[in-house]
Structure 1
Amino acid sequence: MSFETYDDLFEVVSEQYTAQKYRETLDLLDAEGAKFPEHASMIAYLRSCMAARIGLPEHAIQILSEAVARGFWYGAETIRQTPSWISLQGDPEFERLAAVCFQRQLEAVKDPKMYILGPDELGPYPLFFALHGNGDNSMHTLYGWNNLIDIDWILAAPQSAQAESSDGYVWNNQSAALRQLVQQFTDVGNEYQVDPERIILAGFSMGGETALRLALIGPIEARGFVLLGPGGPTIDDPEEWLPEIREAKGRNLRGYILVGEHDRTIPHDQIKRMVKLLNDNGIPCELEIIPGLRHAYPSNTLEYLQRAFNFIGVA
């Protein structure tokens, strides 16, 4: 069995894990995982978990040791609450690796990263300020939207300070997230000349919910928002957004929401309800369903973004 994408591999891994086929899952990850180096940290984590599940604690710890040696780390919640690692708690080598991970987690919280791609010449240029999903990171955001530099946009990808692992960051504390993002937005303006009339706030998954809140509340004066597979606790209950939606009315804000046809992690009916609430309350918003896509970035992002930019009026 061979896989072209990490999503395809992860889907089969999830199915086998649910069926308690732990040995088969480990063998599959050993055979296919190296094809996806951008997900090496997660693959190492899954391999270690499977090794522990089939009664190979020394092998599980060795896999973790190799991951830590490569610079990866897993946060306190993952270390202590992963069911597969319960049997490893208290082992001297496991505890040594845990201590290294905890220190790296503290350092990540202190210094949240942001990656920026943009034209070399002086601007001003339009800005696409894009947030990663929960459990993801800003490097994947760059990969997801990198075609933007082909049309002379600044692409800024801030990374949350709420760190769960070396490649997994979350936006769970929304108040802290918004404060951080306002500061990072300011940092972009200090480095690049930004066109204030063409600022787009964007986000994938929980980053989509966060970007929408940032746009509606208005600490950053954006022209519009682009959300890909937006998800989160309040996306599931669109009526909770009514105060923020009504507050944003009259600010000339427009939005575009993209959802994968086969995205089963996102409640499609609730997304449609959200789009209706936005339109009914004076914030024009378009919904586009991407054929064949699951909860992921489409391969041809520029095609969808150009339609989004035309609708918002920043093309």
Structure 2
Amino acid sequence: MKVLTFQEFTRQLSELYDKKQEITQAFEFLQQEYLRFPEHADQTYYWRIFMAARLGKQSLALQLFQEALDHGYWFSPDQLEKDEDLISLHPLPAFQKMVEICRQRLAEAHANARPELLVREPAKHADSLPLLIALHGNWSDARSTQEAWSDVTTRGWLLAVPQSSQMIGLNSYTWDDRQQGSHEVFTHLAVLNRTHTIDPERVVLGGFSMGAGLAILLTLRQSTKACGFVVLAPYLSEAELETLSDLLDRQKIMGRRGYIMVGEEDTRCLRPYPKTQW
């Protein structure tokens, strides 16, 4: 029997939930399978809370929220207050009290937030290693990101997965502050160059969503001296998009390459770009 991975579990759950008429089925599937993934309990708790709320099970949603807090988990206060799936809980005093607990825990976590780096060695070592630096998306972390990129280690690449210090929730980080994020990636690269023999001609940046956008900017601006980027569903602000034409023109001379993968229904990534050839 094929083992259900967390990625496959998430995909199946999303497919059910996106079909509005199958939310009940999605919740039943989640309740049946979530115990398989104790290392992702913070995520599965949140999903169970908002699905229960969507199904009109407010008492169950509050019970799950309290249970999550009792186990030491917490969620982004901003997300809790803006998530439309939780709108039926917003007027309830018990919900607001638990949101305040999350706000307190976020403040405590902010005081100790530091950039981190996960490194996976290649299966076979060489005198000089190619390096892939993979940046997580917003609302994610390095731990849940590294598996998606780990196959490169079987091909002789060193994999480095930075985790932003910009915390917004438990195991949830962002790259919203581009300057700070750029500095952290640059610092990680400097450390890697001290601890490993890196091939400077084969340093590639990768990433997803907001992390993908940062990977593009770092490569094109040559903040990290990367030879190219490979990204999935990148997000760039309108102001960042405006700068791309000039940045891309410079790459034609320098020979750098970039690959962008995006789903055909991803309207945020496929919105019109201002006079930019990707």
TM range (shorter): 0.7 to 0.9
Change over 3 Å in CA distance of 1:270–1:186 after alignment to 2 = farther
- Answer yes or no: is 1:244 the counterpart of 2:247: yes
| Match of residue 198 from structure 1 | 202
- Answer yes or no: is 1:133 the counterpart of 2:134: no
Q: Which of 224, 231, 234 pairs up with 1:227?
A: 231
For the residue of structure 1 that corresponds to 2:231, the secondary structure is strand
- Answer yes or no: is 1:259 the counterpart of 2:262: yes
Gaps of 5+ in 2: none
Residue 182 of structure 1: CA displacement? 1.4
| Match of residue 115 from structure 1 | 118
Residue 207 of structure 1: CA displacement? 1.7
Structure 2: how far apart are the matches of 1:165 and 1:95? Answer: 12
Contact 1:160 1:177 in 2 (8 A): yes
Q: Which of 172, 194, 213 pairs up with 2:176?
A: 172
| Match of residue 154 from structure 1 | 158
What is the Cα-based RMSD across aligned positions, in Å? Answer: 3.3
Change over 3 Å in CA distance of 1:73–1:22 after alignment to 2 = same
Q: How many residues align?
A: 267
Residue 186 of structure 1: CA displacement? 1.8
Change over 3 Å in CA distance of 1:79–1:267 after alignment to 2 = closer
Structure 1: how far apart are the matches of 2:209 and 2:83? Answer: 23
- Answer yes or no: is 1:75 the counterpart of 2:79: no
Contact 1:72 1:165 in 2 (8 A): no
| Match of residue 184 from structure 1 | 188
Gaps of 5+ in 1: 279-315
Residue 211 of structure 1: CA displacement? 0.4
TM-score (structure 2 length as normaliser): 0.79
| Letter matched to residue 190 of structure 2 | T
Change over 3 Å in CA distance of 1:12–1:101 after alignment to 2 = farther
For the residue of structure 2 that corresponds to 1:87, the secondary structure is coil
Point out 4+ residue stretches in structure 1 off by more than 6 angstroms: none
Contact 2:80 2:99 in 1 (8 A): no
TM-score (structure 1 length as normaliser): 0.71
Change over 3 Å in CA distance of 1:112–1:62 after alignment to 2 = farther
